[in-house]
Structure 1
Amino acid sequence: MSSRDSILKAVKNNKPELLPLPEIDLDVFNEDINLLETFIKSVELVGGRAKVLNSISDLDNEIKALYPNAKQIVSSVKESDFGTVSISKDTDPHSLETIDLAIIQGEFGVAENGAVWISENDFSIRVLPFITNDLILVISKDAICLHLHDAYKLISKRERTFGLFVAGPSKTADIEQCLVIGAHGAVSLTVMVV
């Protein structure tokens, strides 16, 4: 018997008993708050920007005002005509390194932390939200849940595809407390709430 096999056998033989997950009364987390207002404050707290639009038809004008110098734009939001670069599942992800702006449909937002759930059903190249210089996520004001407990209930019913929560622009800090924005992804995040 190899060392690897003996280690795996020892681990298997000494596996602890499975414990049931704790029962959590989710009602204790419910608050009577304005979800939209709390969501906007949370987005700003994590370094993003949130804009409430009167109508989806205002989307392109708002984007043009916020990002007048963006040239290479990918949009997966069907109501936006602002995209200048077309992508598909066959697009080489390396070809996206010059993308200035990505506009992606979000499924819902979380008031608790300002996160927005996006899935590959709404953008065909997984690297898109990370490789773009600036990121815009579009959500409905009716698609904001209170906290992550509600959010996990929503995503538990989905098909098991790639998805993630995005909260604020990419940022990292080292031990010397030097904050770097855009280190691992977008330099800015704007959430358009329609």
Structure 2
Amino acid sequence: MSRASILNAIKKNKPESVPLPQIDLSLFHEDIDLVDIFYKNLESVGGRIVSLNTIEDLDAEIKKRYPNAKSIVSCSNTSQLATISISNETEPHSLESIDLAIIDAQFGVAENGAVWISENDFIVRALPFIANDLVLILSKNDICLHMHEAYNLISKRERTFGVFLSGPSKTADIEQCLVIGAQGAMSLTVFIF
């Protein structure tokens, strides 16, 4: 069959659209400490969280936790630690030796410790995955309860690349041996203010 005939056959046999179910989100409401739940869930998946007294403490705290980081990319206006600049023209492969990437997070999800970042916050899509260590900066006022709320938040965005991250890269083989940093960042630290 030709490509055109396959596509025509698909169009002819396409099922009718079904509306998404209406979900009463009030059923999921819980009166809990979102920051505490976010912290526990992020920690359970291998991430770390550092509470800042003020955002001005950010660079000092990053230096304290990553004293050996030399190649640093910062996509945040709140950190002045960048030693490497990137732009839309930066070749992603040139970032393979980045020690630390610093990125602003748009919001966090208490339910699973995930953090939403989009390419509006980091210019090169490979950056959060190619850096050795990843620092995300998050306001405690920007933590939502669950993924229903999170999907509502991202439904209103420009349709650009974005990703939920929950802890550092990890994988487990058939022998159930967990490896942290298997395909991406060896560590993920959320600095929360």
TM-score, normalised to structure 1, is 0.94
1: CA distance between counterparts of 2:80 and 2:2? 60
SS of residue paired to 1:190: strand
Distance 1:148 1:3, change over 3 A: same
Query: Which residue in the other structure is 1:27 paired with?
Result: 26
SS of residue paired to 1:51: strand
Q: Which amino acid in structure 2 is aligned with residue 180 of structure 1?
A: V
Which consecutive aligned stretches of 4+ in structure 1 deviate over 2 angstroms post-superposition?
A: 2-20
2: CA distance between counterparts of 1:7 and 1:97? 41
1: CA distance between counterparts of 2:152 and 2:115? 15
Query: Which residue in the other structure is 2:90 paired with?
Result: 91
Q: Is 2:57 aligned against 1:58?
A: yes
2: CA distance between counterparts of 1:20 and 1:98? 47
Cα distance, 1:57 vs structure 2: 0.8
Cα distance, 1:7 vs structure 2: 4.0
Query: Which residue in the other structure is 2:103 paired with?
Result: 104
Q: Deviations over 1:8-35 (max 9, x none)?
A: 4443333333322212111111100001
2: CA distance between counterparts of 1:8 and 1:120? 32
Q: CA RMSD in A?
A: 1.3
Q: Which amino acid in structure 1 is aligned with residue 191 of structure 2?
A: M
Within 5 A, what are the aligned runs for 1:1-194?
2=1, 4-194=3-193
Aligned residues: 193
TM-score, normalised to structure 2, is 0.95
SS of residue paired to 1:59: helix
SS of residue paired to 1:81: coil
2: CA distance between counterparts of 1:96 and 1:123? 13
2: CA distance between counterparts of 1:179 and 1:151? 28
